[in-house]
Structures are given as structure tokens and as C-alpha cells.
A and B are shown apart, each in its own frame.
Chain A
């Protein structure tokens, strides 16, 4: 196993070098450069000033020199400074954007995977009935609707007409003008709380599966979740650290409601259909017939036999989605004025901010590769039929 992971790690490293090189070459091959875009159309800036900027950004050096110095600095953890926000370090900008994207899109991901899985399980079990047709048609309609239009309609209805959620952005400026914390700090706190809470909840769930007595298992699970909820409440309402940040975290969560609902509605159909087809395939297996023949309740057959097996492709899809979550969603971030990694990727490429674009892409690349590795390893645990053979 360790040898397998080491071999995959070496492959990934080579692949990453190729990925970085291709990214660098493709971005430098774009017509124009950031200095031309900024200064060439500003008659107030004479050619000498443009030349000074070119030299300052190192764009006057030969391509191979730019490439080698970039790679050398990259692997020393120095991503350089942003061309568009000179002289701000690229790492600083990414660290500013990353928490916003992680908090929004991980929440979205969990939300639409749960909804998609539950709905998929439901319609597979009720195949051919009205419920299946209604849910399938409705969700596929949402899946194929023109997303920016749909998001704007939701903004118009819920934020403007009904006025129950904010129109845009991730915070209300009026509430934050005297805030003692930066929004980034609060995002990090929210992310930390969600991460710790999620890990604890997952651990509880995994441990509870080992308990054979269903009644005892359920009791322990609910006691555990209750304790977790109490700890959360204590953190936000009673601890000095949490209570000082609660109002600001609440403001951010309030702004998250509409984007989360929008993306969940748009995206859950994909997971639903994946679960449905996986369930249908599983339901034709002999062990389902055996389970029914044993006289088990339909719900037990569905949830504990069919759905667990059908979860495998969904899990794969989830892990890959988690790995690629940091590229965010350009459309979502633009429509909801939620400047995260997706918008950063877009603006850095359009503005030809080489350092920023390459660093942002490299984050996405690393996460995607790690995600694939995790999926391979997970498969071995989840599906006993899959084993690493030979060397």
C-alpha cells in the first residue's frame, strides 16, 4: 500500500511539473500582456513608464529565464507578486480568496449531494410512479435551466421582492464598517468550526456503525450529535472568542443562504440521476433478492443494502468534487458578487496576471490530483472487489 502511494506520489509530481509548464506556456502565449492592457491605452503614461513597469515585473527577460526563475521560486514557496495588485504577494491574495470559496462551495457541495442522494434513492425505489416522473422532470429542468438567468430571478424574488435575504455580496458593509475583525478572519473561524464539526459528526457516524444493536446505536448517535450541538452553542454564545464573532459570522451565513439554495437546486439533479442509476443496477443484484427473501422490511433493504452499495460512485464523485471545489464557480461568484477563487482565476487570466493565474491554477491542479489519489485509496476500502495487484 505504502509503495503504491509512493509510486502514485512520484507520478503525480511529474504530472504536476508538466501541468505547471503547460500552464505557464499557455498563459504566456496569450496575445498581449498585462502592461499593454494597463498602459498602452492610457495616453497619460508615456512609453518610458510602460518600459519601467515591464522591467519591474520581469517581463523584459527571455521566456526561458522567466520560466526557470518562476519554477525555482515556485518550489521554494515564493509565488511572486501580483501584476494587477502590485506589489501584493500572490499567496496573500489566494489566502484572502480561498476561505470564501471553501465556506460557500463546501456547504453547497454537502447540501446538493445529500439532497441528490436522498432524492435519487427515493425515485429509484419508486420507479415508474408519478413521484419519480415529477421529481425527475423538475430536477432535470433545473439542471438545464440557464443558470445566470435563474440566479437573477431568485435574487429578484427572494432578495428584492420578498426581501428575506440580502441582494448580493458576502456581508453587509453597514454592519462591518466598525468591525474589529476582517471578513477573512471570520471566514476562517466559520471554516474551522464547520471542519471540526464535520469531522466530529463523521467520526460519530462511523463509530456508531460498529454498534450492532440498532436502538443503542441510535441513542448513542443522537446523544453524540446533541453534545456536538451543545458545544457549538457554547462556542458561539458563551465563549468570549465565539460570541465576539457570532454577529459577523451570522451576517456571512445570512448572505450564503441564496447562493447555497440556487446551486443546490441547479446541481442536485446530477447526483440524483447518478444515485438512481446506481441504485437500479444494485437492485437487480442477487443479494437484494436474498434480503427480500429473508423478509427484511423494504426500508431496510433500500437503505442498508441497496443504497450503501449504490453510494460507491456517488462517493467517488463527491471526493473529486471536493478536490475541485477551490476553483469555485465563476458564474456563481459573479452573479452573487462573492469574490472567491473562481473569480480570481477569471480576472487573473483576462488581466494576464501570470503569477496569480499560475498559482491559482496550480492549487486547483494539486487538489485535483490529490483527490484522484484519495478516490483510488477509498475504493480499496469501500469495495472489497478492488485490490492493488503486483508492484
Chain B
């Protein structure tokens, strides 16, 4: 019996020993990696010291040679003027060489000292907590959390089939454009272009030609110059390989299969892009392009290196073959170079040592103007307002690691633990995790408004959604303030305009919600009046009961102006698992509609179910969905142009709204080349839509973002949050 116990004890000891060995082996792996890094740094320091020693030896040799030469010359030059002159010149050269040698030696010594310091820091870092590593000065590793694996490292594919936000975060810091947006004002500013504003061009025969001058001296990360040939190459590759997705809007090619071509007897759009010389690129259009096509389209299209991508494009039979090529190490024209991707775990980019405009200062003003001061200087727009952002061009980070987490809970723990410095997420931080983040003293959470909205849509193709009074009455019953304040507890921000107020230049601040500021009783009375005025009737008219503070009786037997009774209707909305805000909203809207006598039932369901129903046949009544938006609001035209009806033309006009006056404004907007005129048109369109109510814009949400407060951003007030620009590796810095 005793022997059995001993045997059992020995077995347990053996098991425990194995476990301990495993733990030591795993932990040892980390230590060995740290040791390896320290050893590497020490080796670098030793190499630098050797270089410094060599430079000193060379300096001593140079000094000795010079002295010897002086002595020899003194003997030889006596009585010979020419020889004296030659000697003087030779001495001057030798002294200059000596100076250079001294400088080289000094630099080598400094390098050796720095390397030694780095080695010491590296050695110390192996025993230091990570929080302290982040606080160190100089190039640093910027660690970001992302919530989905980037699906490609090929920048061409990212702009076509793989156009998702995770690829965008990782790949955009390497992609240059002729023009771009200055954050946070989103003013169009030059990047590769020498012309401060996109030129408007001129007519040339039947076409419209725009010549853009490019800056000289800008280079790719491999040191080769960025030229007009790269711009033309990118266009031709997109055209030849028939790339789709976002390329359609970035480079709106004149396509022979475009329906507009048949009507106009000629392809509409961008016909060609050519390099006139190395630094002049010519865009030829079928007609003068509007803002959407040019300033917010082709002028901001990506540019890729012909030297690197040319052979791949030539070898590709179609776009798919090009998209299969890895983008690792491809030349970058931005601040970072995409380095490697470990699928499912992380992606990494490193600082572009040849980044253009490093150290240049960009200042943005509240009036929308931007100034730039670097190798070149320029000013765009009105700079009379307050400074809202002031930044020095990076990259400041030595490298950036994007770690993939599947849940926000894990990412928040990683943030608190120092594993990551910033959480990149287009939907922002879950509100419930905010307090967890703020418990840590070195973390902050910031809120910005998002450039998007959630909306209620009516099917205007069929009764009763086809009746504007019906839509207005439903809009009147919806109390957005009540929903935002009392029900959704401040998580949602009521919205009335198609353009969120954060996009200030284009927004229409004068728009009011239907029945704004009214009580529930007043809303009911107003809605009833709207319907009555349009000829609607009830079998039982809804009444407000002041004793019960409710609608008693509720409306019944609601009939349209022609006596047609409103049949039971469905309100499709995303389920609570997908979006609890919209699911909750749908229940309230159905309830208010029931008060009015509309037999509406809320049907929270899957997102793909709604998309399939509303984009397909017109068998639906009302739905709630949302849009993420662009800065240039030409989507207002796309969403309601009767020629873009989703049922007949496959466009984005899902409600089937048809208003010739609106279509005319949509045409004006697309053709407009003046940004102020375009803004005025957008505001008029917005007002028409608010009146006709094919959509009832419900709310937008703030984007919460969590980050380590040792970071410094060019601006912390940005539409759609810091993830749009300020928190990306090329812009972020360590706080001083």
C-alpha cells in the first residue's frame, strides 16, 4: 500500500516536472528571443565602434600625410611660382579632405555612441515592462488592434474586390495620389501635384483636356522618381485589365458598354491618361468632368510604380492574375511601406526611409483653409479661422504592427496590458467597454461624429408609400429627440439632413425634422391633419386621451384619398444581434404607426435578408438600414435619381423615388465644377428630400476610440474618428 502511494507520488511529481519544463521552455523561448535582440543590438554597436575606430585611424593617417606633404612642398617650392600655386591648391584640397575625414570620424563616433546607447536600452528593455518601452523617444513600434484579417496585400485588389476597411487601414499609408484630403477639414490639397488646386482644363476638339503638373524630386521608397509615367501606367492597367469596384469611381473610364454611351453616341468619361513629359500628365475626358469625376475622383486616384508593377501587369491576362501577386515590399509613395502579413495574426508596415515631405508642416484652419510648408509651400482656401490641426509630416513610427483580435473584450485587455496602443475599428469602441478602458490611467477614449446615418425608407412605388402625405405623417410621428434621449440613452444623435453636420461644408443646418419640438399629442394631431388635408380617412379616427396620456382609441381602417384601405405592412429592420439601436427604433416606429391606424409590424431580421429583399423585386413596404458616406455628397443624387432605380436600373435608388425636378438637380450636381455651387445644389436637394420624405433620416452615432495617451495625433476632432487618418501610422507620433 505504501509502495503504491510512493509510486503515485512519483508519477505526480513526474507530471508536474513535465509541466514545469514546458512552461520554462515556452517562457525561455521569449527570453531567448529578447536575448537575440539584445545581442543583435550589441553587435550593431560593436560594428559602429569598429567603423569609428577605422575613421579615426584614417584621420590620423590623413593628418600625417598632410604634414609630410607640407614638409616636402616647402622644400620643393622655393623659387617656383607655378609650383607654389599648385602646392597651395593641393594644400587646400588636402585640408578640405582632412576636414571631411574629421567630420566622418565625428559622425562615426556619434553613431558608435548611439549604437551603444541603443544596445544598452535594448538590454534594459528585456527586463522592462512594455509600458516603459512605449514611452521611449525616437522611432517606435506603433501597435494597433484590428478586428478582422486583412484579406489581401495587393493594393490593386484592395481598390476592387477586396475593398474593405481592414485592408484600407494597412495599405493606404503606402499609396500616393495626385491630390488628397487634408484632415480634419477634408479640403482637397496637392500631394504629387505641383498645381495647388486641381486644374479645370479646357476644351480640345470634342474632348476636354486637363494637364496636371507634378512635383519634381518626389521618389518611391526604392529611391526611383515618381513621374507622370506612373500615373499613366496606373490608368492603363486599370483600363486594360478591366478592374472594377472602387476603380469605377476613382477612374471613371469612358466605357463602350456604358448605357449612357448609346444615348450620347460616344463613351462618356475619362478617355485617356498620358504622360506629356516626365512631370506633366494629361487627362482627356469626353466632356468637362464634374467635381465627383475629377476633383473627388480621378485626381485622388491611387498611383502605382510602373517599374515595379509593370512586369506583373504585362504578365497578367486579367485582373485576377494581377490581384494574386503579393504586395509585400512593393515601392511605396507614402509614409509607410507594407512589409509582411501573417494571415490570422498580424500585418506589419515599416517607415519609408525615403518618404517625401518628411518634416513638412501642415496647418488646417476652421475656415477650411490649409497651409503647407516644406520643400514647397502652398496655401489652399480661407486660412482666416482658428487652427484646428497642426502636424509635422512623418513617418514618426519606425514600424507599425496591426494585430488581429476577434473580440473587443480581448483587444481592450491587450490595450490595458500594453500589447497594443490603439484600437482601429470603423464601428468604434463598444460603449460598455469605455469604463474598462478609462480605469487605466494611461488610456483615453475620444468621441467623434461618424460620417453616416441610419434611416427609414418607404417603397414609393406602391401604395401607401407612394403618397407623400403618408410618408410625412409617419415622419411626423417619429420623435427622434425622445428616442435619442429617453430610449437610446444618448447613444444615438438625432439627424435630419442627408449630410451629417460633421461634414460641415456640405451639410444643411437649416433642415428641421417633421413636427420638431412637438409633444406626442401634438405629433398625433399634426399627423392626422397632414393625412386629412391629403384626403385620407379612417373608420375610427385616432384620438389623444389626456387622462391616460395615450392614443385611445387608436386609428382603424385608414384609407387613402381614393378609398383604398391600408393593408398590413412590414417594417424590415436589422435584428438586435446586429444592431440593437435600429431594432429598438423599428419597434417604436411600428407602435407610433399603429397609433395612427397604420397596420405596421416591425420585423427585425438578418442584414442580408433585408438587402436581398429591398434590392431585389419591389415586394417590401418599409425598411431601416444605414449608410456609410463619402465626403463629397454626390450620393444624394445616386440614392434618389429616378434613373438609378434599384428595381429597374440596378442603382441605389431603393425607394424608387421619382421627381423630375430632383433629377435635374442631380444632373446639375454631377456637372458642377465649382465647389461652392455644388454645395448650394446639395442643400437644395436635401431640402426637397426632407419635404418629400422617401427616407426619414433617423440618427447617427458617435465613434468612440480608445488609445494610449502617450500618443500624439495631428488632430483629435475628425469626422469618422481618428482611424480615418490621424491614428494611422504615417501620422501618429509620441507625445513630447
Binding site for B on A (CB under 8 A): 30-33, 36-53, 56, 81, 84-88, 96-97, 100, 152, 155-156, 159-160, 163, 167-177, 182-184, 246-251, 253-254, 257, 299, 333-337, 339, 343, 352
Q: A39 to B650, alpha carbons, bound, how many Å?
A: 12
Please tell me if the beta carbons of B25 and A250 are within 8 angstroms of each other in the complex: yes
Quote the shortest CB–CB distance from A15 to chain B (angstroms). 30
Contact with A along B256-284 (1 / 0, CB 8 A): 01100000000000000000000000000
12 contacts between A and B (CB under 8 A): A32-B612, A36-B608, A47-B649, A48-B244, A48-B257, A49-B247, A86-B320, A87-B324, A160-B416, A169-B404, A173-B342, A337-B407
Asked whether any CB of chain A lies closer than 8 Å to the CB of B134, the reply is no
Contact assessment for B639 and A43 in the assembled complex, using a CB-CB cutoff below 8 Å: yes
In the complex, which residues of chain A have a beta carbon less than 8 angstroms from the beta carbon of B611? Answer: 31-32, 36-37, 40-41
Interface presence of B28 (CB below 8 A): yes
Contact among A37, A88, A176, A333 for B406, CB-based, below 8 A: A333
A86: nearest chain-B partner, CB-CB: B161
**Quick one: given A56-B244, A86-B161, are A31 and B404 in contact (CB under 8 Å)?**
no
How distant is the Cα of A100 from the Cα of B345 in the complex, in angstroms?
A: 12
B417 touches A160 (CB 8 A): yes
Interface contacts beyond A43-B639, A168-B406, A177-B346: sample of 18 additional A-B pairs, CB < 8 Å, sorted by A: A33-B612, A36-B611, A41-B611, A43-B630, A50-B650, A53-B245, A56-B244, A84-B151, A87-B324, A155-B413, A159-B417, A171-B345, A174-B143, A177-B348, A177-B401, A246-B29, A299-B4, A337-B405
Chain A residue at smallest Cβ distance from B609: A31
Rounded to whole Å, the gap between the CB of B431 and the closest CB of chain A is 18
Give the number of chain B interface residues (Cβ < 8 Å): 80
Separation of A186 and B629 alpha carbons in the complex (Å): 43
| Complexed CA–CA distance, A175 and B143 (Å) | 13
Q: Is the CB of A335 within 8 A of B161?
A: no
Question: How many residue pairs at the A-B interface have CB separations less than 8 Å?
Answer: 197
| Contacting residue for B342 out of A41, A183, A250, CB 8 A | A183
Chain A residues within an 8 Å CB radius of B29: 246-251, 254
Q: Is the CB of B414 within 8 A of A167?
A: yes
- Cβ–Cβ contact A45 & B27, under 8 A: no
- Cross-interface CB contact of A174 among B23, B401, B410, B627, cutoff 8 Å: B401
Q: Which of B23, B26, B405 contacts A169 (CB under 8 A)?
A: B405
Whether B615 pairs with A36 at a CB distance below 8 angstroms is yes
Task: Say yes or no: B323 contacts A86, CB within 8 Å.
Answer: yes
Interface centre among B141, B164, B611, B638 (most CB of A within 10 A): B611
Name B305-341 residues within 8 Å CB distance of A.
319-321, 323-324, 339-340
For the complex of A and B, list the 4 residue pairs with the smallest distance between their C-beta atoms, beginning with the closest: A250-B29, A32-B608, A254-B26, A339-B344
Q: Which of A38, A183, A333 contacts B345 (CB 8 A)?
A: A183
Nearest chain A CB to B142's CB is how many angstroms away?
A: 12
**Best-surrounded residue of A32, A36, A173, A339 (most CB of chain B within 10 A):** A173
- Tell whether, in the assembled complex, residue B346 and residue A335 are in contact, meaning their CB atoms are under 8 Å apart: no
Do the beta carbons of B248 and A49 come within 8 Å of each other? yes
Min CB–CB distance B665 → chain A (angstroms): 17
A173 touches B399 (CB 8 A): no
Q: Is B575 an interface residue (CB 8 A)?
A: no
Of residues 408 to 431 in B, which have CB atoms within 8 Å of A's CB atoms?
409-411, 413-414, 416-417, 419
Does the CB pair A87–B401 fall under 8 Å? no
* Beta-carbon contacts under 8 Å, B23-38 to A: 23, 25-30, 32-33
A170 and B342 alpha carbons, distance in the complex (Å): 11
**A343 to chain B: which residues have CB within 8 Å?**
406
| B149, CB-defined interface residue at 8 Å | yes
- Alpha-carbon separation in the docked complex, A334 to B339 (Å): 26
Partner of B343, one of A96, A175, A249, A250: A96
Looking at the assembled complex, report how far the CB atom of A39 sits from the nearest CB atom of chain B, in whole angstroms. 7
Q: Across the interface, do B406 and A334 meet the contact criterion of CB distance under 8 Å? A: yes
Cβ contact within 8 Å between B245 and A85:
no
Point out the residues of chain A lying under 8 angstroms from B344, CB to CB: 96-97, 100, 170, 183, 339
Task: Tell me, in angstroms, the Cα distance from A36 to B611 when the chains sit together.
Answer: 7
Contact of A52 with B244 in the complex, beta carbons under 8 Å: yes
Q: A167-B410, A167-B414 are in contact. Are A88 and B345 (CB under 8 A)?
A: no
